[in-house]
Amino acid sequence: MRGALASVYRLVVSDAATLPRGLPGDCFVETAEGPVAMAETPNKGFAVLTRLPSGVLGFRQLIKVVAAGPLPLLRVVLDSGHAIVLAAGHLVYRRGMEPVPAARLAVGDRLETAFSYPADYAPPDRDPRAPFFDAIRVRAVEPAGEGPVFTGTVRDTHTLFLTAGVLCGE
């Protein structure tokens, strides 16, 4: 099974390799210090929030951040009211840890979040009258012009959470 998942991941990553990837400087990532704009990360090591191989959340260092571009950007509008801007080839994770280039996201796609719970669990402080969301869905994917982007390496997991709540590639 592990080999099958790795081979699927390689196909998506290989396919995305021809598409530009990166996050604009004003894109916020979740760190141990709180939200930090990507433009503030070069030459600094930030511990970013990620999903560990065990499935739990944890922090790993974001290192080797470099700038590139300008590159064509996409705006992904989410049903949470947030929007994320990223390069077309930047990987975003659908529910189930399925990596997909941003350009291949479709309206209705459910994205991997930091607040995923087992099916029979609800947070104890949740207002029972409030709607319960187990994923963030894509509302729209649209061109967002061009701009400089930043990429880096997240130790061990190669993923990080954006402040908008979704898991994406480094």
Residues 6+ apart with CB under 8 A from 75: 83, 84, 85, 140, 141, 142, 143, 144
Whether 95 is in a domain gets the answer yes
Bridge partners (DSSP) of residue 149 are 24, 68
Q: What's the total number of domains in the chain? A: 1
* 86: its two tokens: 């990223």
* 120: its two tokens: 């029979």
User: What is the Cα–Cα distance from 169 to 97, expressed in whole angstroms?
Assistant: 11
Residue with tokens 């963030």: 136
User: What is the Cα–Cα distance from 52 to 158, expressed in whole angstroms?
Assistant: 10
Containing domain of residue 83, as a range?
2-118+133-169
CATH number for the domain spanning 114: value is 2.170.16.10
Whether 82 is in a domain gets the answer yes
- Over 19-81, what HEC string results? CCCCEECCCEEEECCEEEEHHHCCCCCEEEEEECCCCCEEEEEEEEEEEEEEEEEEEEEECCC
pTM: 0.79
DSSP letters for 99-140: EEEGGG--TT-EE-BTT---TT---TT--TTS---SSEEEEE
Whether 126 is in a domain gets the answer no
Q: Check if the beta carbon of residue 24 is closer than 8 Å to that of residue 147.
A: yes
User: What is the Cα–Cα distance from 34 to 8, expressed in whole angstroms?
Assistant: 33
pLDDT along the chain (170 residues), means of 10: 40 55 92 90 83 86 90 93 93 91 95 72 68 79 95 90 88
Output the pLDDT for position 4. 42
Q: Which of 20, 22, 26, 21 is nearest to 163 (CA)?
A: 26
Whether 128 is in a domain gets the answer no
